[in-house]
Chain A
Amino acid sequence: MSQSSELLVERQAQLPATVALHARPAGMLVRAAAAFNADVFVCANGRRANAKSILDVLALGAEGGTELVIAASGDDAVEAAEQLALLIPSLV
């Protein structure tokens, strides 16, 4: 688990209007997050989910067009946050 003194990197990204964070898109996000060592969270509507946990991400119930915030901390946090922020608007 990361230390509280580690830098938290945040990036915002919006889900496409027609793509909710359910099933397949959620799976793609989780697979992408799993590639990084950093602790990664995805936040929607004031709720935070572990981006590496499919059930956590699905519980967000984020509908199409929702603004998401990716928060990451650890070694490759910047890369993680930026890659996921790039992925989100391209989810189908």
Chain B
Amino acid sequence: MTAMAGDNGCVGLVLVSHSAEIAKGVADLAGQVAGPAVAIVTAGGAQDGSLGTDGGRVLELLRAAAAGTGAVVLVDLGSSVLSVRAALTELSAAESERIRVADAPLVEGAVAAAVAASTGCSLEEAARAAEEARNVAKL
């Protein structure tokens, strides 16, 4: 397992979605806004490529992030949340401290967290930036 680490110690992002396309699209967008220093990885869709979640992949990504600079986790809905919760129970206490699941909309949260991370902020600050996305007026 390779640790997931951003440049200059930037925290990273783990995006979990029912859809591989959604996860990749959000990763591309967040990556463009945040720049290359922020590592963004995705767990989108089931193992066979259909809509769903792959718990094994989620755990693998969380472990890699915890071994590196830590990550904010963004989820879409339903079983994505359940997969993340299940994976968290498999982590050690030390690993868990480097993972923060943000209660935020996937796209807006990922963009906000990624940009925050690119400024070198802490894990908690990046997660809060994601969660503030719920309050920002879009229109």
Q: Which residues of A contact B (CB under 8 A)?
A: 23-24, 26-28, 30-31, 34-35, 53-56, 58-59
Contacts and interface: CB of A to CB of B under 8 A. Distances in A.
Contacts of A28: 35
Contact of B118 (A31, A55, A56, A58): A31
Contacts of A27: 32-35, 115, 118
Contacts, number: 45
Size bracket, chain B contacts: 20 to 34
Given A24-B33, A54-B112, A59 B118 contact: no
Given A59-B136, A59-B137, A54 B33 contact: yes
Given A34-B121, A53-B112, 19 more contacts: A24-B33, A24-B35, A27-B32, A27-B33, A27-B34, A27-B35, A27-B118, A30-B115, A31-B35, A31-B119, A35-B119, A54-B111, A54-B115, A55-B108, A55-B132, A55-B136, A55-B138, A56-B136, A58-B111
Given A23-B29, A53-B132, A54-B33, A31 B137 contact: no
Contacts of A55: 108, 111-112, 132-133, 136, 138
Nearest to B109: A55
Given A53-B132, A55-B108, A23 B32 contact: yes
Contacts of A56: 136
Contacts of B29: 23
A53 B119 contact: no
6 contacts: A23-B33, A26-B33, A28-B35, A34-B121, A53-B129, A54-B116
A82 B115 CA distance: 22
Nearest to A22: B33
B32 to A, nearest CB: 5
Contacts of B111: 54-55, 58
Contacts of A58: 111
